[in-house]
Each structure stands twice: as C-alpha cells, then as structure tokens.
A and B are shown apart, each in its own frame.
Chain A
Amino acid sequence: DTEVTQTPKHLVMGMTNKKSLKCEQHMGHRAMYWYKQKAKKPPELMFVYSYEKLSINESVPSRFSPECPNSSLLNLHLHALQPEDSALYLCASRRTSGVLANTGELFFGEGSRLTVL
C-alpha cells in the first residue's frame, strides 16, 4: 500500500461547527504533515509530526488542532473556523527508515477541500 488516504474529500461547515479531517497511511512512515493550499497558491506547511510527536507548528491559529493518535493516523480538528480558512488541506507522509529514509520525498494524499460558510 503506497497511498495516503484523506477523508472527507469535501467538507462544508459553518463558523460554529466542529469537524475533523482524517489522514491515514500504512507505509510505515513516521513523519506526517499537514499542508494548507489556497487556490493558485503553493502548499503552506502547517504542522509536522515526527514519531507521533508534534515537531513543527508553523504558528497556526489554535482553531486548528492536530492530533496523531498512532503511527498510521493523523487528524486535524477544526473549530470556529473563518471563511478565509476555506482551502485544500493536504496530508503527506515521509519515509523515515530503510535505505531510502533520507530521500525527503513527501507522499501526498488527495486532499480535503474545505469550505467555511
């Protein structure tokens, strides 16, 4: 299995809602990422988890709350979002062991397209 799976593919939520984005991979990668991508812009790093510990938080507002419950799963909890948070949220993983451990290659999921009304 060489896939990063993200659910849901599309999400529409109000500013008072609480929702979660989910990401799963079974490649044994112990580095997992959340990126945010607005239309016609590059992906912007939000969070990095390394061996299930948060290693990088790019000063993301607290209305975004990441969670890594185990080595295969990564969640992004959303609460009290703003319309400007509407974007494509991309999850990615990176190989951390084996002969190709230091390649740096990111494996991206298809993304969750979020619309905040």
Chain B
Amino acid sequence: GENVEQHPSTLSVQEGDSAVIKCTYSDSASNYFPWYKQELGKRPQLIIDIRSNVGEKKDQRIAVTLNKTAKHFSLHITETQPEDSAVYFCAAGFQKLVFGTGTRLLVSP
C-alpha cells in the first residue's frame, strides 16, 4: 500500500520568509496529491492539490511541485504570514488517500 513521508516535522520561519515542506510517496499508481492545512481543533482544509499529469501548480502565495519519477512533491509558501501558522499535511492516492505525518509551521511576526 501507499506510504507517505513528510519533512520537516516542525518548521519555524520569520514573517515574510518562504517555507518549503517536502513529501515522498511509494505507490506509483497514486495520481492525486493534495495539501491540507489544519488549525488546532478544526478539520483539515484543502489549500492546493496537484494531479499526476501536472508538474507544478500555483495559487497566489502557495505553489506545489510534483516529480513523478522521484516520487516526491513539495509545498512552497512565499511571504509567510502569522495566520499561516498551522499543521500542514500532504497526502497521496486517489480513492484511498494516505496522509503524511504532518508539519507544524510556526510563523513569527
């Protein structure tokens, strides 16, 4: 089955800096790679996703890249703001979505 690894587990940045979170997956059949943001006590919220036929996708300050050959994908957040502080999960799969272990992002003013 699918196995998703995520790094780093914690990431502290200053406001305005960029943040990068990386994930690797094991199942070459996975074709959907979303990123979720989860604030304390709340549900995971989809922030961006990418499908296996696309190498990069951008939405304002957030971008995701996918390298199918290496089986890894990354989340890039530019111009970070304190409200970006949360736990971020990557995931891979399609009908069965497997989540990475999460990254706690702390953006200091």
| Chain A residues at the B interface, C-beta cutoff of 8 Å | 31, 40-45, 48, 50, 55-56, 90, 94, 103-106, 108-111
Contact = CB atoms under 8 A, between A and B. Distances in A.
Interface of B: 31-32, 34, 42-46, 49, 51, 89, 93-102
Contacts of B44: 43, 90, 108
Contacts, number: 49
A90 B43 contact: yes
B32 A103 contact: yes
Contacts of B98: 45
A45 B49 contact: no
Contacts of A94: 95
A71 to B, nearest CB: 17
Nearest to B6: A42
A55 B31 CA distance: 19
Given A48-B95, A104-B97, A41 B102 contact: yes
A40 B44 CA distance: 13
